[in-house]
Structure 1
Amino acid sequence: MTSASRSRWSSGGGGGGTHGLLRSEVFQVFKEVDHILHGGDVGTWDILIGLQALAPVTAVYGNTDGLELRGKLPQVAQLQLDGFDIVVTHGDQFGQPTPAKLHDAFPKAEIIVYGHTHKPLLELVDRTVTVMNPGGAGPKRFALAPSVGILELEPGIPPRARLVRL
């Protein structure tokens, strides 16, 4: 679902798969983040408005998002936070996305946040690229517990990341 980040050092909240449901636990976990990264399957524009009450949001559309969101959100977002090159994508364009496929597609990214599978994952690729699937923060799907991710970013130091069950 969503990832987040924080600054002096920055904290980023990562999430995806809200599917129209913004759990109250997300507000607690993301209360001190500086930026929110949403990996798609947002559900409704109101979800992003709710998240923007916490921090700026970078979001992409997912395979279940309708025309309204597809018209407003990109399939892939690229940004820099605290000097880190970050890519956010849903990942469905890769079939079953894997950290290796994502790294091959976005070789300059230092952090990749994606969704689609709803399976929480945190992996280091080539010893330098952090790949995170924060899981799904919306309705429970596929017998997986709802979750989000937190990234802690500080220039010159490798990113620290963790997954948080809701």
Structure 2
Amino acid sequence: MRIGLIGDTHGYLRAEVFKLFRGVDHILHAGDVGTPDILTDLQTIAPVTAVWGNTDGFDVRACTVGEAEVELGGVCFALAHGHRVAEFNQLADVFPRAVAIVHGHSHVPRNDLVNSVRMLNPGSAGPGGVGWAPSVAIVEIQDGAINVVHLDVATGSTLHI
């Protein structure tokens, strides 16, 4: 199973995302969507699970949730923007069932383990992060193993984080 991770679009969905997400089975949006049209456009690629972020207005909040858990490829993913905790690692306490937690907010790509929970941030697909190009991530799940690749949206090249 292939899952596209995206976050912090802030109302701007780059055309390259459609190419990078071609063939994904599901998309997780980690908040700060910007407009509901972003989610509608992503749904033309694959089903979308999305949470709202701190900059999202009532229009986005009406079609998303604050936090979500979803099982994909036999793996429990938790999804939260991350602005409601003092430290992103606290999300592991909020979602005790999660094998992987996807968050946004910082605009900084992330892939590391915290107490055996995989913490993922695709980075910002909209304006980019401080020192980072706009990015997304692809998660591949095979036999319960999780492989994550972060990609520069403009070039499609792998980001080494």
Q: Is TM > 0.5 for Structure 1 vs Structure 2?
A: yes
User: Matches of residues 1-166 of structure 1 in structure 2 within 5 Å?
Assistant: 10-95=1-86, 97-98=87-88, 100-127=89-116, 129-154=117-142, 156-166=143-153
Consecutive unaligned residues in structure 2, runs of 5 or more: 154-161
> Contact 2:32 / 2:52 at 8 angstroms: preserved in 1?
yes
Aligned residues: 153
Consecutive unaligned residues in structure 1, runs of 5 or more: 1-9
Aligned-pair distance for 1:139?
2.1
Sequence identity percentage: 46
The structure showing larger relative contact order (alpha-carbon pairs under 8 Å, at least 6 residues apart) is 1
Structure 2 counterpart of 1:115, one-letter code: G
Between the aligned partners of 1:109 and 1:27, the Cα distance in structure 2 is 28
Aligned-pair distance for 1:70?
1.2
With normalisation by structure 1, the TM-score equals 0.87
Deviations 1:12-45 (A, max 9, x none): 0001000000001111110110100000000001
With normalisation by structure 2, the TM-score equals 0.90
Deviations 1:111-139 (A, max 9, x none): 11110100101012233x21100000012
Structure 1 partner of 2:159: none
Between the aligned partners of 1:77 and 1:140, the Cα distance in structure 2 is 24
| Aligned-partner SS, 2:18 | helix
